[in-house]
Structure 1
Amino acid sequence: MMKKTGIILLNWNAAEDTIGCVKKFQNFQAFLGDNLEDKTTIYVVDNNSDSADRKKIRQDCQHIVFIQNDSNLGYAGGNNVGIRRARKDGCAYILLMNNDARIAEKDFHLLVQAMDAEPDLGIVGPLIRDDHGGILNAGGRDIGCHYISHFKEPVQPDMLYDVDYVSGTICLIRSSLLEHIGLLDEEYFFSGEVADLCQRAKKQRTSSDSSGAYHRIAINPQASGTHDLSASHGNRGGIYTYYTVRNRFLYIRKHLRSSIPRLFLYWTSQHLRHAYRCLRERKKIELQMILKGLLHGLIGKYGPLH
């Protein structure tokens, strides 16, 4: 029997994307029948969008749990609201998914089946492709050590393989794992929080004693999802650059403490080079976001940017 899965979609002034994602899921065969709520529940968490955006979702989406936040809590905080509700409702698995991403029914079930078959699997994701079939993300390496951290090709094309992190675009999480490691770290606000969650999961054993295996973080290359980056570009802008630069320092502080002097020097150098390129190319906003992200990362100023 399929274990109950909570699907969490975070909305911020992107009602059309969210509605399209909801309707895609509701066309799955898993949603048909009288016991819909026993199988899968969709949670739409709104991060304080404008009233027209919220109203459209409420009108066009039936059989969902709609949660309204009073402020924009970012990716981490917004998803945490949905995760708490899904866990309260007894969801064994939790799917985090961008509202501008899509996954077919067979690929969704491949992720669930992998989780069912592998008791030590804590978090699993599919290959993330663009609309033309090219691979955008096949899992990733430690973001504290690698400038380009994501794989562009599967490490193993035919079987589940371990990675340091799974893309937050689409990832399936074992709910019971969160009892031990906690939820997404809201200090990240936007970017890096799923890599952080994966790192914490890898350090957690599957049982309370030392005999248990550590949780695996893996990609199922038989499963694919798509991500329309153009849809979210307007909501990202230079702010994404800021959080990406800044949050790498937070990640290093948490997980690579013994290497802080070396890594802080390395990343300061890398980001200053990037800033110099932006200066030469007259990319004023990106330049400002890099320098602000670098400053805040070094001094330890995290959370939402004010």
Structure 2
Amino acid sequence: MSRKIGIVTVLYNSESVLDEFFETLSKQTYSDFILYLVDNLSSDGCLDLSKELSSRYAFPTIIIENDANYGVAKGNNIGIKRAVEDGCDLILLSNNDIALDITAIEKLVLGMDRHHADLVVPKIYFYGTHKIWAAGGGYKKRNGLTVQYGQEEEDRGQFDEDKKVDYSPTCFMLMSKEIFSSVGLMDENYFVYYDDTDFVYRAVYGKHKTLWYIADSVIHHNESTSTGKMSDFSVRYLWRNLVYFSLKNYNFLYGIYVVLYNFLYINLILYLKYSKKQCVIARKAYKEGYDLYRKNQPIKPTIL
């Protein structure tokens, strides 16, 4: 029996990627889905383009227009709540800077059933290449950061088997709607970056949910369309949210270790990579992350 999927995607100046996103969705072998487009007050033409594309393609699309840029976490939450209210059985969190192979969604659903998984993710290529962006992922004990398996490796079949994993980005992650009743929604304090890391960590380690990488489901990811690579914006939120995530989720001693280790990394190693301005931004972001943690402890998850 088919289950209705609510595909939730957050728009922010995404005009350049939407055509292919809609086109590849329209060709999916699994068609029982509703697309929820949550626009965070984009300043380009993506909202108007979304309305045009939604009338061009046959699958149902619901466009939610926010009155401000609420960030990725809150944008996702708005879409998730609407999809659950509309009776969707499964929720698929999706970036819109992706292109889907024709069976991507169908094979995720089959993989979820095959492994009795709570969450599932596909094999993800860097757009326009045969290089892997992520084949699931995990955590590095040394520095407390996440790792995406196979990143930048040419695909030679080394990730062609399904695998239970501890982490993966939520740029294309399918899950049952019931997961939000126990894990809660996205933590909106992150705004962007680490919101997915936090959600997956709470699900896998906090509530013992199972996350599987499904090798025969494939998408292609055009990374950093909205935020830019290593922009001042990225530097601030990456390091701010690293501190907040580590202190919030890891045990006290390990959380302190991760924060100190990465602070030294910024000052001793990234000095060669960042501009002087960005080094200052990163240091200030550390304090901002600590202040955010102190302000929001304890955080009780929002339950549907």
With the shorter chain as reference, the TM-score category is: 0.7 to 0.9
Within 2, Cα distance between the matches of 1:127 and 1:11?
23
Correspondence for 2:302: none
Correspondence for 2:147: 149
Cα drift, residue 105 of structure 1: 2.4
CA RMSD of superposed structures (Å): 2.6
Correspondence for 1:248: 242
Unaligned segments of structure 1, at least 5 residues: 32-38, 206-213
Cα drift, residue 278 of structure 1: 4.0
Alpha carbons of 1:285 and 1:86: their partners in 2 closer, same or farther (altered >3 Å)? farther
Correspondence for 1:12: 12
Unaligned segments of structure 2, at least 5 residues: 296-304
Correspondent of 1:299 among 268, 291, 299: 291
Within 2, Cα distance between the matches of 1:29 and 1:47?
30
Within 1, Cα distance between the matches of 2:146 and 2:204?
21
Correspondence for 1:221: 215
Written as runs of structure 1 = structure 2, the 5 A alignment for 1:10-49 is 10-31=10-31, 39-49=32-42
Cα drift, residue 233 of structure 1: 5.3
Correspondence for 2:90: 93
* Larger mean Cα displacement after TM superposition, 188-197 or 269-278: 269-278
Give the letter for the 2:192 counterpart: F
Cα drift, residue 16 of structure 1: 3.5
Cα drift, residue 288 of structure 1: 3.5
Contact 2:136–2:213 at 8 Å: present in 1 too?
yes
Contact 2:28–2:104 at 8 Å: present in 1 too?
no
Helix, strand or coil at the partner of 1:229: coil
Contact 2:11–2:42 at 8 Å: present in 1 too?
yes
Alpha carbons of 1:266 and 1:286: their partners in 2 closer, same or farther (altered >3 Å)? same
Correspondence for 2:299: none
Cα drift, residue 268 of structure 1: 1.3
* Larger mean Cα displacement after TM superposition, 82-91 or 269-278: 269-278
Correspondence 1:277 to 2:272: yes
Cα drift, residue 129 of structure 1: 0.7
Contact 1:94–1:173 at 8 Å: present in 2 too?
yes
Correspondence for 2:256: 261
Give the letter for the 2:188 counterpart: E
* Larger mean Cα displacement after TM superposition, 170-179 or 268-277: 268-277
Cα drift, residue 244 of structure 1: 1.4
Correspondence for 1:193: 195
Within 1, Cα distance between the matches of 2:206 and 2:291?
29
Give the letter for the 1:26 counterpart: S
Alpha carbons of 1:74 and 1:232: their partners in 2 closer, same or farther (altered >3 Å)? same
CA deviation map 1:90-126 (0-9, x unaligned): 111111111111221212211111122333x121111
Q: How many residues align?
A: 284
Contact 2:10–2:38 at 8 Å: present in 1 too?
yes
Cα drift, residue 204 of structure 1: 5.6
Within 1, Cα distance between the matches of 2:251 and 2:52?
49
Alpha carbons of 1:22 and 1:288: their partners in 2 closer, same or farther (altered >3 Å)? farther
Identity of aligned residues (%): 25
Within 1, Cα distance between the matches of 2:18 and 2:293?
32
Cα drift, residue 291 of structure 1: 2.1
Correspondence 1:286 to 2:278: yes
Give the letter for the 1:100 counterpart: D
Cα drift, residue 70 of structure 1: 0.9
Correspondence for 1:117: 114
Correspondence for 1:69: 66
Cα drift, residue 135 of structure 1: 0.6
Contact 1:13–1:50 at 8 Å: present in 2 too?
yes
Within 1, Cα distance between the matches of 2:182 and 2:163?
24
Correspondence for 1:53: 46
